[in-house]
């Protein structure tokens, strides 16, 4: 997919991110964000969402403005009548209810259409995707997002077309990020980036960012570069629009750990204000640092604390405290020799433990493969 071929995401979807930022202490009184949100609400005549924003953010409600927008909403909704057009009017009505932030009415309509067994599977899936967007837009409700994904899988398994299956990958990938399932998210993002068309949910740039962040944590060093190289659109976007994310990936792959930590610090400033990542941003940063330590220590039986500190561009005290914490938690297979001033990964631990784990995994998977081959041979005449 070329960047020039991007679809257009509805403007109102961006308001959820602005509202979320305004709910954070550091942005609570930001005048630019307030103006953006207020102007976006007025431009879309989002009366229900205006009331929700005023309640959640403690804004005073302008009753005259609310009444004016509500009148426009009623006028627009009265024009939606059933007909035999290719796109059902209920879907247009649902899209409009979503665009004005009427959570209750949109949820009720989408639920009714999902439960209508007379509709085609694809139409019912469109209703479920709307339920996901409603949950995503109104506070990133992970529980409701998960329910929508489960319902979508049930319908897709009964006969959804390629378009619906492709859309489901993007929706599920974002849900997986919200529940810290980075491995599954990376797999889904890699599958859907080149054929992404769920612009009604997020723009392509957001998908690229989520894809890179998930892959950076979930994939091994060699697999990370290989996966991204296969995604031409992702490579193009990283070069032209997201140089910081490109540096994050390349510094980790090239073992430039000091640069990696700098890029990770920038990433932290971005994901801490993202509705999907906010509950987990500290966890993400911690896991990324652990991955860098594991990648470095795996190649050595022992390494001095001073060497590690220089490699990461931090102080020896910081490295010693952090490695001690991760080791005590069982996240790093090593020990600190305080007398020698080094980290020891040998003696059956560290690299040897990794190799032992890989050996056992190879044996186990090899046995499974042999059993499958035997079963296959018993039903095939050679």
Tokens representing residue 313 in the block = 């561009």
Contact 76, 60 (CB under 8 A): no
For 112, other C-beta atoms within 10 Å of its C-beta total: 12
For 161-214, the pLDDT digits (tens) are 888 899 999 999 999 999 999 999 999 999 888 888 899 999 999 999 999 999
- Confidence at 381, pLDDT banded by 50, 70, 90: low
Least confident of 4-8, 35-39, 128-132, 326-330: 4-8
Q: What's the CA gap between 265 and 271, in Å, rounded?
A: 10
Which tokens go with 171? 């929706």
- CATH number for region 161-299: 1.25.40.570
Q: How far apart are CA 381 and CA 262, in angstroms?
A: 60
Summarised one tens digit per residue, pLDDT across range 9-29 is: 999 999 999 999 999 999 998
Tokens of 293: 């330590």
Task: Name the residue among 211, 166, 165, 157 with its Cα closest to residue 184.
Answer: 211
pLDDT at 193: 87
pLDDT on residue 356: 60
The three-state secondary structure class of 329 is coil
Task: Indicate if the pLDDT at residue 104 is higher than 80.
Answer: yes
Q: Report the pLDDT averaged over residues 301-326.
A: 93
Q: Which residue has the tokens 């529940």?
A: 179
Between 26 and 377, the higher pLDDT residue: 26
What does the pLDDT read at residue 105?
Answer: 94
| Cβ atoms of 284 and 264 closer than 8 Å | no
Side-by-side strand order, sheet with 302-304: 302-304, 342-344, 335-337
pLDDT at residue 363, rounded to an integer: 83
The owner of tokens 């299956």 is 165
Cβ 161 vs Cβ 122: under 8 Å? yes
Tokens read off for 183: 């491995």
Residue 351 has pLDDT above 50, yes or no: no
User: Does 352 have pLDDT greater than 60?
Assistant: no
Start-to-end CA distance of the chain, whole Å, equals 44
**pLDDT at residue 234, rounded to an integer:** 73
Predicted local confidence at residue 20, as pLDDT? 96
Q: Name the DSSP letter for residue 83.
A: -
Residue 37 near residue 22 (C-beta atoms within 8 A): yes
Residue 88 three-state SS: coil
Could you tell me if 349 and 334 are in contact, meaning their C-beta atoms sit under 8 angstroms apart?
yes
Average the pLDDT over 88-108 and give the result.
93
Going along the chain, which residue ranges are E strands? 302-304, 335-337, 342-344
Nearest one of 82, 89, 168 to 122, comparing CA atoms: 168
Q: What mean pLDDT do residues 128-141 have?
A: 95
pLDDT in tens, 214-269: 999 999 888 887 787 777 777 777 788 888 999 999 999 999 999 999 999 999 99
Strand partners, 336: 343
Beta partners for residue 337, in sequence order? 342
Annotated domain spans of the chain: 161-299, 302-347, 355-381
User: What 3-state DSSP class applies to 335?
Assistant: strand
Per-residue pLDDT at 347 exceeds 70: no
Q: Establish how many alpha carbons lie within 13 A of residue 334's alpha carbon, considering only the half-sphere containing its beta carbon.
A: 30
Look at strands 335-337 and 302-304 and give their pairing.
unpaired
Q: What is the pTM of this model?
A: 0.84
CA dist 81 and 41 (Å) reads 26
Nearest to 324 by CA among 312, 342, 336, 333: 336
With beta carbons less than 8 A apart as the criterion, state whether 290 and 283 touch. Answer: no
Average pLDDT over residues 92-106: 94
Q: Is 344 helix (H, G, I), strand (E, B) or coil?
A: strand
Whole-number average pLDDT of the chain: 88
> How many Cβ atoms sit within 10 Å of the Cβ of residue 341?
13
Average the pLDDT over 281-295 and give the result.
Answer: 94
Give the containing element (helix H, strand E) for 241. none
């Amino acid at each position: 997919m070329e960047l020039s071929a991007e679809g257009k995401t509805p403007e109102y979807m961006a308001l959820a991110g602005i509202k979320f930022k305004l709910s954070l202490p550091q942005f609570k009184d930001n005048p630019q964000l307030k103006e953006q949100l207020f102007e976006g609400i007025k431009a879309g005549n989002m009366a229900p969402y205006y009331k929700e924003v005023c309640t959640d953010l403690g804004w005073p409600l302008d009753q005259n403005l609310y009444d004016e927008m509500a009148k426009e909403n009623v006028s627009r909704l009265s024009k939606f009548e059933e007909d035999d057009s290719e796109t059902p009017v209920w879907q247009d009505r649902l899209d409009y209810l979503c665009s004005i932030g009427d959570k209750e009415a949109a949820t009720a309509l989408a639920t009714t259409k999902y439960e209508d067994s007379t509709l085609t599977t694809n139409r019912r899936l469109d209703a479920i995707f709307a339920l996901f967007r409603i949950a995503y837009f109104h506070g990133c409700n992970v529980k409701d997002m998960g329910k929508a994904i489960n319902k979508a899988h049930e319908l897709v398994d009964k006969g959804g077309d390629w378009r619906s299956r492709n859309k489901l990958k993007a929706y599920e990938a974002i849900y997986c990020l919200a529940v810290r399932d980075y491995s599954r998210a990376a797999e889904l993002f890699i599958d859907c980036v080149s054929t992404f068309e769920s612009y009604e949910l997020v723009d392509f740039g957001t998908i690229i960012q989520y894809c890179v962040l998930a892959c950076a944590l979930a994939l091994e060093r060699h697999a990370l570069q290989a996966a991204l190289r296969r995604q031409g659109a992702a490579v193009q976007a990283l070069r032209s629009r997201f140089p910081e994310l490109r540096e994050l990936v390349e510094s980790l792959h090239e073992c430039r750990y000091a640069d990696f930590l700098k890029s990770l610090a920038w990433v932290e400033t971005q994901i801490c204000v993202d509705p999907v990542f906010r509950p987990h941003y500290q966890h993400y940063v911690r896991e990324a640092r652990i991955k860098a330590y594991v990648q470095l220590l795996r190649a050595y039986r022992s390494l001095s604390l001073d060497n590690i500190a220089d490699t990461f561009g931090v102080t020896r005290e910081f490295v010693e405290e952090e490695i001690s914490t991760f080791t005590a938690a069982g996240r790093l297979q090593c020990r600190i020799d305080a007398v020698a001033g080094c980290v020891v990964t040998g003696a059956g631990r560290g690299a040897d433990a990794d190799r032992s784990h890989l050996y056992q995994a190879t044996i186990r998977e090899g046995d499974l493969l042999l059993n499958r081959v035997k079963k296959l041979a018993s039903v095939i005449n050679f």
